[in-house]
Amino acid sequence: MNDVARPANTALNDDIGEDVRLKLFETQVVIREAEQRAYDLFLQNLVKGTSHLSLGQEAVAAGFAVAMKPGDLSFCTYRGHAHTLARGVPVEKVLGELMGRDNGLMRGKGGSMHLTSEEHGVMGSYAIIGAHLPIACGAAWRAQYKGQKDVSVCFFGDGTTNIGAFHEALNFAAVWKLPVIFVCENNFYMEYTPIGDVTAVPHPAADRASAYGLERIVIDGNDADAVYREAMKAYDKARAGGGPSLIECLTYRHSGHSRADPAKYRPEGELERWKERDPIKIYRERLKQFGIADAQIEKIVSGVKATVDDATEKCKAAPIPPLDILTTDVYADGGWAWRN
Amino acid sequence: MAELTYRDAVIRGIAQEMERDPDVVFLGEDIAKAGGVFKATVGLYEQFGPLRVRDTPISEQAILGAAMGAAMTGLKPIAEIMFSDFIAVCFDYIANEFPKSRYMTNGQTKCPLVVRTGNGAGSRFGAQHSQSVENWCMMIPGLKVVAPSSPADVIGLLAASVRDPDPVIFLEHKSLYPTKGEVPDGEIVDKLGTAKILRPGKDATILALALMVPRALAAAEKLAAEHGIDCEVIDVRSLVPLDTQTILGSVAKTHRAFSVEENPRLCGWGAEIMSIIADEAFYDLDGPLVRITTPHCPLPSADVLEDAILPNVDRIVERVSKTLNS
């Protein structure tokens, strides 16, 4: 286990095109820089509570999001910063929420584990493992019932494959032939424990696919092109009425499970091996292979860094949420009244 | 006006709402082709077709999760959980997902859905198919919780629940399915958060819910005939929102309050209402606040045992008369 994902076929294939490639790169850099900043802000005690970073897993978020159409829906886990940013939610809104400021995405009422921006198609980040797989089925059912062409894309980790809701949702989606895509980010650790120690099959998602009549799909989750291509295939199939897909993306998180985890359980050298296959490093090389000039690449990176710096300063200067929002939006009337 | 069973009222209530609004869809185990294990959904599949009335696998998490995803994105689902005891296997949606999404997202997410479920004892099904779980749901901010006792209320409150923009847990009492009642013709739409005074009285207020309502009414007649005690019986109907004004108004008049609760004693709905009365109407009271409940005990299966453990007419009569005469 823990083998570094096999590189995808890197033969030059221009099926993706320059505009999309630049978007894939920029999206990954946004996630990298924003996540790194979130970590730095922890160390300054400006981000409180917990947080689950996607450093090292950027290609999965970027590949699936860039392949989406407006109106497609993302359902994320508590490790959801990356998927939220990938749909174009401003960095300031995400960092503001992590910092508990009034400019945050939910004005501090949700926090790191519940990032939601329905206007960007980010239909929530769910902190109870497995909960959002059935919820994504429901959104897909609505599309099917109303004859709408959007797809629902549900991201989760390898640990999720051992909870009941995963299996209920897979069967349900297959039986109802729903336009939903289940994306397993297999980063090889459920939390602190290697996934292989607690799972009966080597590939926690893909090896379960046959139980639900689905194709077995394992891809290199550190190569944004491979992710993008697989995403497009799955979306096209779903939009054409072909039903759900389950895609296992092999990747690796560079940080621990959460803020509290220094990840000392990893065998020596494992992190270093995976860092050689850092998705952003891979993609820089890819851009060069396609003749994108260093200057253009650096311009993208410096632009993203400026955006993250600017967002950080705005968040530091932003007011804290007013106490008058404490009990708003418990019910649809905007308040919390439970009695007359 | 027609006489209808509680069971047929469920069918009529769902049909009324599905006819009105094409966004109302219905899912659950055995609800479509089989017409429901309690026969409370017979004919809906034939009337509304397989796209709107859908059988699911035995996957309670998938049922409630799918209902939520559909509700968030524009449908108005009615989901059936066959026995309310099964809420325990999908409690994440009841406790963590439906009720918190709107708050956590600062009002972005909506969740207009209804979970219908067969609640309560009397069918000799034992400890895992007979519970009254209204208190499991009542304690969670963001949910609404309704439990009708009559066929007319089933239709009216179900319609109000489907039209409500918040998630509603709609508890149908299994032992009431065969009971009959008068139901007005035409569309019926009631209002959540309204208790009903079913029997006016001046000496004591008896608060009851679902199957305990007919028992409280029968006890009130006996108390009047045998003890000269004139009880006001209130069907609480809606635990959240709670109609405290009707309850406090009654207590101000009778100066006495009793609750008749099918749920086991600890943290039952009556405890919450009694604490409100103690807090806000203490000086109206002439005596202790008394809760008549099922004991803190699982439910037995054998008919004699099950009958003995639930509050019944004689226990209500005894507790009320002893309290008022002491």
CATH assignment of the domain containing A258: 3.40.50.970
**Do B169 and B278 reside in the same domain of the chain?**
no
Look at residues B183, B206, B232 and tell me which one is the last residue of a structural domain: B183
Length of chain B counted residue by residue = 326
**Do B14 and B116 reside in the same domain of the chain?**
yes
Lowest model confidence (mean pLDDT) among A9-18, A91-100, A188-197, A209-218: A9-18
Name the 3-class secondary structure at A276.
helix
Q: Choose the closest CB to B92 out of A73, A123, A131.
A: A131
pLDDT at A12: 66
**Per-residue pLDDT at A150 exceeds 60:** yes
Measured CA to CA, the distance from residue A263 to residue A149 in angstroms comes to 42
- Domain span at residue B321 reads 196-325
A104-110 long-range contacts (CB < 8 A, ≥24 apart) are A104/A315, A104/A321, A105/B106, A106/B104, A106/B105, A106/B106, A106/B108, A107/A321, A107/A325, A107/B106, A108/A320, A108/A321, A109/A321, A109/A325, A109/A329, A109/B103, A109/B104, A109/B105, A109/B106, A110/B104, A110/B105, A110/B106
- Output the CA torsion sign for A19, A25, A27, A29: negative
* Shortest alpha-carbon distance between residue A199 and chain B (Å): 22
CB atoms < 10 A from the CB of A295, how many? 7
Measured CA to CA, the distance from residue B294 to residue A302 in angstroms comes to 68
Residue B234: strand pairing partners: B197, B207
Cα–Cα nearest to A79, from A157, A153, A137: A157
pLDDT at A2: 45
Q: With beta carbons less than 8 A apart as the criterion, state whether B234 and B198 touch.
A: yes
**Do B13 and B126 reside in the same domain of the chain?**
yes
* Shortest alpha-carbon distance between residue B83 and chain A (Å): 19
Domain count, chain A: 1
pLDDT at A263: 87
Provide, as residue numbers in chain A, all residues whose Cβ is less than 8 Å from the Cβ of B113: none
**Do B22 and B153 reside in the same domain of the chain?**
yes
Q: Residue B279 sits in a domain of what CATH number? A: 3.40.50.920
Would you say residue B58 lies in a domain? yes
Would you say residue B32 lies in a domain? yes
Measured CA to CA, the distance from residue B77 to residue A61 in angstroms comes to 31
Closest residue in B to A75 (Cα–Cα): B69
* Shortest alpha-carbon distance between residue A225 and chain B (Å): 30
Give the DSSP H or E segment for A202.
Answer: none
Residue B258: strand pairing partners: B206, B290
Would you say residue B189 lies in a domain? no
Residue A211: strand pairing partners: none
Name the 3-class secondary structure at A48.
coil
Provide, as residue numbers in chain B, all residues whose Cβ is less than 8 Å from the Cβ of A107: 106
Q: With beta carbons less than 8 A apart as the criterion, state whether A247 and A183 touch.
A: yes
- pLDDT average, residue stretch A219-233: 98
Look at residues B183, B215, B244 and tell me which one is the last residue of a structural domain: B183
A280/B contact by beta carbon, under 8 A: no
Would you say residue B29 lies in a domain? yes
Residue A24: pLDDT band by 50, 70, 90 thresholds? very high
Residue A55: pLDDT band by 50, 70, 90 thresholds? very high
Place of tokens 């803190």: B296
Q: Which two tokens stand for residue A137?
A: 């089925």
**Do B247 and B311 reside in the same domain of the chain?**
yes
**Per-residue pLDDT at A7 exceeds 70:** no
Amino acid at the residue B72: M
Would you say residue B8 lies in a domain? yes
Q: Which two tokens stand for residue A271?
A: 């992190």
**Do B29 and B162 reside in the same domain of the chain?**
yes
Peptide bond into A179 cis (omega under 30): no
Would you say residue B263 lies in a domain? yes
A141/B contact by beta carbon, under 8 A: yes
Q: Choose the closest CB to B105 out of A116, A142, A169.
A: A116
Query: What residues of B are labeled active site?
Result: 129
- Output the CA torsion sign for A321, A327, A331, A334: negative
Would you say residue A10 lies in a domain? no
A315/B contact by beta carbon, under 8 A: no
Ranges of residues in chain B whose predicted pLDDT is under 70: none
**Per-residue pLDDT at A4 exceeds 70:** no
pLDDT at A1: 40
Substitution target in A102, A132, A325, A329 with the highest count of B β-carbons within 10 Å is A329
Measured CA to CA, the distance from residue A90 to residue A78 in angstroms comes to 18
Q: What are the distances in angstroms from CA B246 to CA B149, B207, B235, B269, B288? A: 17, 11, 10, 16, 20
The verdict on a CB contact (< 8 Å) between B65 and A135 is yes
Domain count, chain B: 2
Place of tokens 């600890």: B266
B243/A contact by beta carbon, under 8 A: yes
Would you say residue A2 lies in a domain? no
Chain A residues 74-113 with a CB less than 8 Å from chain B:
105-107, 109-110
B279/A contact by beta carbon, under 8 A: no
**Do B237 and B165 reside in the same domain of the chain?**
no
**Per-residue pLDDT at A10 exceeds 90:** no
Substitution target in B23, B76, B98, B105 with the highest count of A β-carbons within 10 Å is B105
Would you say residue B211 lies in a domain? yes
Q: Choose the closest CB to B66 out of A109, A141, A337.
A: A141
**Do B262 and B141 reside in the same domain of the chain?**
no
A192/B contact by beta carbon, under 8 A: no
Complex ipTM over 0.90: yes
Provide, as residue numbers in chain B, all residues whose Cβ is less than 8 Å from the Cβ of A168: 57, 59, 61-62, 65
- pLDDT average, residue stretch A217-239: 98
* Shortest alpha-carbon distance between residue B228 and chain A (Å): 33
Cα–Cα nearest to A76, from A3, A30, A131, A144: A131
Q: With beta carbons less than 8 A apart as the criterion, state whether B162 and B187 touch.
A: no
B272/A contact by beta carbon, under 8 A: no
The phi and psi torsions of A336 (rounded to 5 degrees) equal: -130, 10
- Domain span at residue A119 reads 18-318
Provide, as residue numbers in chain B, all residues whose Cβ is less than 8 Å from the Cβ of A169: 61-62, 65
- Per residue in A242-282, pLDDT (tens digit) is 999 999 999 999 988 887 888 889 999 999 999 999 999 99
Q: Residue B110 sits in a domain of what CATH number? A: 3.40.50.970
**Per-residue pLDDT at A337 exceeds 80:** yes
Provide, as residue numbers in chain A, all residues whose Cβ is less than 8 Å from the Cβ of B59: 134, 168, 171-172
CA-CA-CA-CA torsion for B279, B285, B291, B292, nearest 10 degrees?
-160
Residue A36: pLDDT band by 50, 70, 90 thresholds? very high
The verdict on a CB contact (< 8 Å) between A172 and B62 is yes
Q: What angle do CA B210, B216, B220 make, to 5 degrees?
A: 155
Would you say residue B201 lies in a domain? yes
Look at residues B159, B183, B207 and tell me which one is the last residue of a structural domain: B183
Lowest model confidence (mean pLDDT) among A12-26, A28-42, A123-137: A12-26
**Do B21 and B164 reside in the same domain of the chain?**
yes
**Do B209 and B60 reside in the same domain of the chain?**
no
Q: What are the distances in angstroms from CA A224 to CA A25, A74, A229, B147, B217? A: 8, 17, 9, 52, 69
